[in-house]
Every structure is written in structure tokens, then in C-alpha cells.
Amino acid sequence: MDEAITPIHFSTRSLPVREQFDAWRAFMAPAIDLDIRESRIAPFEAEQTVWDVGGFALTRARMPGDGTARTWQHHKKNALDHWCFVVVNDGTAPTGVPGRPARQLFFRSLGERFDGSAADTSVLSLYIPRELFGERLNRIDGTSSQVPDTGIGALLADYFLSLEQRLPRIPNAQLPQVVEATQAMIAACVRPSAERIEVAHDAIVATLMERARQVVRQNMGSSSFGPDHLAQALGVSRSRLYRLFEPFGGVARYVHRQRMLVAHAALSDPSNTSSVIRIAESVGFGDASGFSRSFKQEFGCSPSDARASSIFRSPFRMPPSRAGGSATAEFATVLRRLAA
């Protein structure tokens, strides 16, 4: 079986305190010129994971949450002219839509002048060569650098976050399709047009379904949760919602199935000591008998039988991480190779 990619992992935690920020600055140097407003010899425990997907690089940075402000700028006459998309999802971004996680999505070109500052703690970044888009994104320079969290633009941050979760399980042989889908998704969300949206149709539907799954699971305990709530959270019309869920037997059927899957997972977990009625209530059922009937119709066994069987799976194992000074050079190599 084709193996998945192994990420590059860099951390300052094992370094002497006085060297931590300088090491982080050196690691980020291929992309930006980074500085700090506080003392450079103060503690700066941070880590970065880099996924080299081939046509683009996806990185997750986790930085200190002490409010320390960082400043950065793009290198002058940078040889790298990549687009950089940044998702800030550390809980500090505003959200006005129920069921939608707080986050902000920005983009910029490494080849253009940019100065910024922030104190965020968790940032997802995607670096992708400008050449990959041809003329399709050539008119976004100089425009607002924030992608609106409304309409189709709201799907792009969801797509990036979902991609981060799925990359550890994607075989190397499928990476070209991932690059193609990501390219289409970016073009459709940043510069929407009927043609671009059609090209990105599959990725858009997959992203909507992933958000729907998260929203439904966040509202498991509400027996009144229904299509109107889900349509609002997804930012789609009721008619679009029904078309989206038609392959799944409809919205109500999908929500019911998700409730049953969550209940089955809870009952099959040996460490979960909650009573059957408590689990039923947690997935929106008010009485045990109705829950038992629905559960048996779904899985062919009673909740008690599922609990007695104690079915569970071994936890997924992350690929081994790479640590040490070589990670800095590898990150630089990844970014340069994208332009090759």
C-alpha cells in the first residue's frame, strides 16, 4: 500500500531559552523576515509542522500565547513569488454565524511588499506558486487581503482546515489530485465565476459536507435542530441544502444517521460509563425506548448489546516526526522547490 507523506517537524522547546526565538526566526527566514517587540532572549516555545504536498506546502505553526507581538515583512526582491494563504483559528477571530468556528483567512504574495504584526497562537498557512494559476488570479494583487467569511469564500478556510486533518491519511499516489482540487478551490473562492465554481464542484461539495458533519455533531443534544439551523450554519438556501443531501436520503436522514453514529461510538467505548438514557439524551432523544428502537433499526442490535460487545479500534498513529536543526533547511528547500 502506498504510504502517506511524512511531515517536517520543527520545535524550539528543546533549545536553550536564549536561542529559541533566533531559531524560530531562522526557520521562518525562507518566507518572511520575522522580529519580536520583546527581548529576543526571552522564552519562545514554538513548533511548526510542514507538509510538502508537491504542488504546494501546508504548514501549522503554534506559538506562545503570552500576548507577545511579532512583526514581519516580506523580503525585498524575493525570489519566491508564491501565494500565501493564512488561516488564523486560535479562537481570537470573530464569528457571527452559529455553528461556524471562529477563524480569519488572509492571503498575500511573497513577491509583493508586506508588513504585518500579530500575537496569534495557532496559524495554518498554505504556500502555492503563483504560476500554478496562470491568469486566473492575476487581478487580486492590491485588493483586500482578507477572504470574506461569507458565501463561497467561507468555504476556503474550511477546506484548508479539513485538508490538514486528512493529509496524514492521503497516499502519495493521490497527491496530484489533491493539488488539482486545491488549485480549483482557491480559484473558485478567491475569484468566483460560474466556470471556476463548476471546476471546483467536487471540492466544494466535500467541504460543505464536512462542515455539515461538524455542525450536526456540535448540535447533537438539541432535539429541535433541523434543516433551517443547518442551512444557516452552512450559508446555503434550503433548496441548495436539500439538493446537497439528496444522495444521503435527505437532511433528516443524514442528521439521524449522525446521531446514531455518535451514540454507537459512545456505547462501544469501554471508558464511557454513562447510562444508556444519558447517551440517548446527548444525541437528542428524550426517552430510552424511542432511542432503543432507532438504534436497533440502524445497527441491528440494541444499545445494551452494543455496549456489551465493547467494540473499539486502535488509535491512529501519526507518522514519526523529524526534529533537529535540519528542519530549517528542509523548509527552505520545500519552498524553493515549489517554484521549480
For residue 15, the model assigns a pLDDT of: 93
In angstroms, the Cα distances linking 227 to 98, 172, 256 are 13, 38, 12
Cα separation, 337 vs 127, in Å, equals: 11
Helix (H, G, I), strand (E, B) or coil at 154: helix
Residue (of 319, 329, 333, 337) closest to 55 by Cα position: 337
User: Cell numbers of 270, please?
Assistant: 469501554
In angstroms, the Cα distances linking 18 to 36, 203, 277, 284 are 14, 45, 55, 53
- In sequence order, which residues have a C-beta less than 8 Å from that of residue 193 and are 6 or more positions away? none
For residue 22, the model assigns a pLDDT of: 92
For residue 199, the model assigns a pLDDT of: 67
Handedness of CA 76, 25, 54, 174 (dihedral sign): negative
Cα separation, 340 vs 325, in Å, equals: 24
Quote the pTM value: 0.65
The single-letter code of the amino acid at 203 is A
For residue 32, the model assigns a pLDDT of: 87
Write out the chain's pLDDT in tens, 340 residues. Answer: 568 888 999 999 999 999 999 999 999 988 888 888 777 888 899 999 999 998 889 999 999 887 778 888 887 766 677 888 888 877 655 444 444 556 788 888 787 778 888 888 899 999 988 777 765 565 555 455 667 666 667 788 888 988 998 898 888 888 888 888 888 888 888 776 666 667 667 777 877 887 888 888 888 888 888 888 888 888 788 888 888 888 888 888 888 888 888 888 888 888 888 889 999 999 899 888 899 999 988 888 888 888 887 544 333 333 334 444 567 777 777 776 675 5
For residue 136, the model assigns a pLDDT of: 57
- In sequence order, which residues have a C-beta less than 8 Å from that of residue 165 and are 6 or more positions away? none
What domains appear along the chain, each with residue ranges and CATH number? 8-211 (no CATH), 219-309 (1.10.10.60)
Cα separation, 168 vs 5, in Å, equals: 7
Cα separation, 283 vs 256, in Å, equals: 9
128 contacts 55 by C-beta, under 8 angstroms:
yes
For residue 322, the model assigns a pLDDT of: 42
